Amino acid sequence: EAAVTQSPRNKVAVTGGKVTLSCNQTNNHNNMYWYRQDTGHGLRLIHYSYGAGSTEKGDIPDGYKASRPSQENFSLILELATPSQTSVYFCASGDANWGWDTLYFGAGTRLSVL
């Protein structure tokens, strides 16, 4: 069974609207991440978290906010969605037992902003 679950799987939003992407993990990992995937750019880090109540900016945080209310849940929020935010978004939890985070990804959310 999936240990990292994203919802919704597909979303169509209007420009200027608010979008919330949700992620839930049952791995009990402290670290969680949000990436977006675009052709030619690979996976780019938007926000990450070290635990409940913590959020940190990644490499491309502009236009995005994050919220980590609990160990299990990590949300990505687009307050004013723009067409440039059309992408596939992946959430991941990080297993740091090896010393560095090994990432376990959710199935992704395909977002279209019209």
Q: How far apart are CA 69 and CA 52, in angstroms?
A: 6
Q: How many residues bind other proteins (CB under 8 A)?
A: 25
> What token pair was written down for 42?
């690979």
Considering only 17-25, 34-42, 60-68, 71-79, which stretch makes contact with other proteins by CB under 8 A? 34-42
**Which is it for strands 75-78 and 65-67: parallel, antiparallel or unpaired?**
antiparallel
Of 45, 50, 61, 77, the residue at the interface with other proteins (CB under 8 A) is 45
Which range of residues in 21-29, 39-47, 66-74, 79-87 is near other proteins by CB under 8 A?
39-47
Paired tokens of 79: 């307050």
Question: Least distance from C-beta 75 to other proteins, angstroms?
Answer: 18
State which of residues 48, 64, 74, 89 lies at the interface with other proteins (CB under 8 A). Answer: 48
Tokens of 12: 């169509």
Closest among 98, 108, 107 to 1, alpha carbons compared: 107
Residue tagged 């030619």 (tokens):
40
Residues numbered 54-73 forming contacts with other proteins, rule: CB under 8 A: 58-59
**Could you tell me how far CA 30 lies from the centroid of its own chain?**
15
Applying CB under 8 A, which residues contact other proteins?
Answer: 4, 33, 35, 40-45, 48, 58-59, 90, 94, 98-108
